[in-house]
Amino acid sequence: MAEQTAIEADRPRLRSASAEARLRRYLLVNAIAVWVSVVVLLVLRTVVGGESRTILWTVEVLVGAGVLLLTAVLLAGRARSGLAAGIVVVATWVVAVSITWFTPFIAPVGLLALLLPLVIVADHLPRRGRPLIVVATTLLSGTIVAVGSLRTPEYELTHPHSPIQAVVLALFVPLLVTVLVLGLRDYVLRLHERTRELEESRARLAQASVEARRAIERDLHDGAQQHLATLAVDVGRVTRLCETDPSRAREAVHALLPTVELAIRELRDLAHGIYPTALGEKGLPGALPAAARRTVLPCSVEARDAGRHAPAVEAAVYFCCLEAIQNADRHSSGSLIAVRVTDEDGPDGGLAFSVTDDGVGFEPASVLSGHGLTGMRDRIRAAGGELRVESAPGRGTAVLGHFPPGTRQPRR
């Protein structure tokens, strides 16, 4: 693809890729914090002396959590952010409850630890699982308070009061509060960024709407309107011939048929560009094959099993695919274009689509901004989806889009 679908050099390649990088960074920071906590506890155990099983049990729990966090970091690096987020949630629950059981005085740390997943990884959890995570975290917060209250008398009988307890709280509470503050700050910045992008996208869509109306006006004026104006003149001429020379009038009427057919064809093509009839009647499986037949390069479409979705979603996917197909056909210099539209699992699953080619590709960071990709991204985001483009020199280009659950409609 060429400049029309160039990725903006002054922006991140994809917001989803940026979110995954942010998740990996937070997971790594938390893994480092856990391992640092292990070292601190071992040092305190050495300072205190003796065989403190309480500290040793806490260290064992933190080591397990550290291993799980490192696993989550690896999964996030392989685009398995949902699974990584789930592992972090489970690891945090286990750590919060375990350290409260072994050391009841550290219950405030457990309560703060419970909040970390809701701040850091909530956006990466499956949409349906988020309410369950919130409810479970709320219940666990009460459980930790209860465990800390019940276990404190027994703990104090076997563990005489020591300044080490105050040192542990003084070390770990600020650490967790710092992580929470940074997470909340990052979340607020993401909201501001999202708001700014939506405002910019809305302005571009408004401008694109005006330009589209002007383009339709030009197409009508230069195409069908001209043919209809010519047809009106010819009809007047035929009307006069009917009075003077009926035989020539019949010949002139037959000569008008190609002009009428041309005007009808141009109006039909224009209407198809505005909103194809097949898209409203048959959805994406009916409209995309027709678009694929108009390419020079071979173009395959796999959308037979895709269901019906909200009209705005179907229109966004159709015109985005149409733009990607046209750009690949004109600029990829490849041998094949492949279009794929699939429904995600579940009765209310989301929608995913891709347009790929095996052409020359390009280096996104080295290409200037283009209206093609910006328009596709704005259209998909306005309908509630996400769009990303993957490309490299000599490795072709892939335009990938995704809509979350909630857009599917019953088959008609």
Over residues 282-303, the mean pLDDT reads 88
In a domain, 4, yes or no: no
Residue range 403-410: average pLDDT? 72
Assess whether pLDDT exceeds 80 at residue 403. yes
pLDDT at 5: 38
* Predicted local confidence at residue 357, as pLDDT: 94
Residue among 412, 370, 249 nearest 1 (CA): 370
Q: Do 188 and 235 lie in a common domain?
A: no
Q: Is the pLDDT of residue 412 over 70?
A: no
Q: Is residue 386 part of a domain?
A: yes
| 262 Cβ neighbours under 8 A, 6+ residues apart | 227
Summarize the confidence of residues 258-284 as an average pLDDT: 75
More confident residue, 54 or 301: 301
Whether 169 maps to a domain, the answer reads yes
**pLDDT greater at residue 269 or residue 280:** 280
Is the pLDDT score of 252 beyond 50?
A: yes
DSSP three-state, residue 161? coil
Same domain, 270 and 380: no
Residues 92 and 75 in one domain: yes
pLDDT confidence band for 107 (50 / 70 / 90): confident
Cα–Cα distance measured from residue 126 to residue 167, given in angstroms and rounded to the nearest whole number:
38
Which two tokens mark 51? 């065989």
Q: Do the beta carbons of residue 346 and residue 405 sit within 8 Å?
A: yes
Q: Does residue 109 have a pLDDT over 70? A: yes
pLDDT tens digit string along 27-61? 787 788 778 878 877 887 777 655 557 777 778 88
Same domain? 68 vs 19: yes
Say whether both 26 and 165 belong to one domain. Answer: yes
Residue 387, H or E segment: strand 386-391
Residue type, 370: G
Distance CA 154, CA 151 (A): 6
Query: pLDDT, tens digit, for every residue of 168-214?
Result: 677 777 777 777 777 777 777 777 877 887 777 777 777 777 676 77
Residue 10 is assigned to a structural domain of this protein: no
Q: Which residues pair with 401 in a beta bridge?
A: 353, 387
Predicted confidence at residue 15, as pLDDT, reads 44
- According to the per-residue pLDDT averaged within each range, which of 67-81, 177-191, 388-402 is highest? 388-402
Whether the predicted pLDDT of 410 surpasses 60: no
User: Is residue 77 a part of any domain in this protein?
Assistant: yes
**pLDDT > 90? residue 354:** yes
- Based on the domain organization, do 268 and 295 belong to the same domain? no
pLDDT score, position 365: 64
CB 396 within 8 A of CB 358: yes
Query: What CATH number corresponds to the domain at position 339?
Result: 3.30.565.10
Q: Is 238 a member of any domain?
A: yes
Residue 334 predicted with pLDDT over 70: yes
Is the CA virtual torsion 236, 241, 243, 244 positive or negative? positive
Confidence of residue 248 (pLDDT cuts 50, 70, 90): confident
pLDDT tens track for 210-226:
676 776 776 666 666 77
* Domain with 365 in it: 283-409
In this structure, the answer to whether residues 193 and 210 fall within a common structural domain is no
Percent of the chain surpassing pLDDT 70: 81
Shared-domain flag, residues 83 and 194: yes
Q: Determine the average pLDDT of the residues in 381-396.
A: 86
Given this model, what pLDDT does residue 336 score? Answer: 93
Neighbours of 398 (CB within 10 A): 16
Average pLDDT over residues 54-83: 81
Q: Are 350 and 176 within 8 A, CB to CB?
A: no
Listed residues 223, 255, 274: the one ending a domain: 274
Tell me if 309 is assigned to some domain: yes
Residue 305 pLDDT: 76
Task: Determine how β-strand 386-391 pairs with β-strand 351-357.
Answer: unpaired
Judge if 195 and 227 occupy the same domain: no
Residue 9 inside a domain? The answer is no
Closest C-alpha among 223, 225, 228 to residue 256: 228
Same domain, 233 and 301: no
Nearest Cα to Cα of residue 16 among 309, 397, 390, 411: 390
The domain tally of the chain equals 3
Last residue of a domain, one of 247, 274, 301: 274
- What confidence score (pLDDT) does residue 367 get? 57
pLDDT for res 52:
58
55 shares its domain with 186? yes
**Per-residue pLDDT band at 13 (split at 50, 70, 90):** very low
Structure-block tokens of residue 230: 């010519």
Task: Note whether 257 and 379 are same-domain residues.
Answer: no
**In 10 A of CB 182, how many CB atoms?**
14
Residue 341 confidence (pLDDT):
93
Nearest partner of 45 among 34, 61, 57, judged by Cα: 57
Average pLDDT of the residues of the chain: 77
Average pLDDT on 308-315 reads 86
Q: Considering 239, 274, 309, which residue would you say is the last residue of a domain?
A: 274
Give the pLDDT score at 46: 75
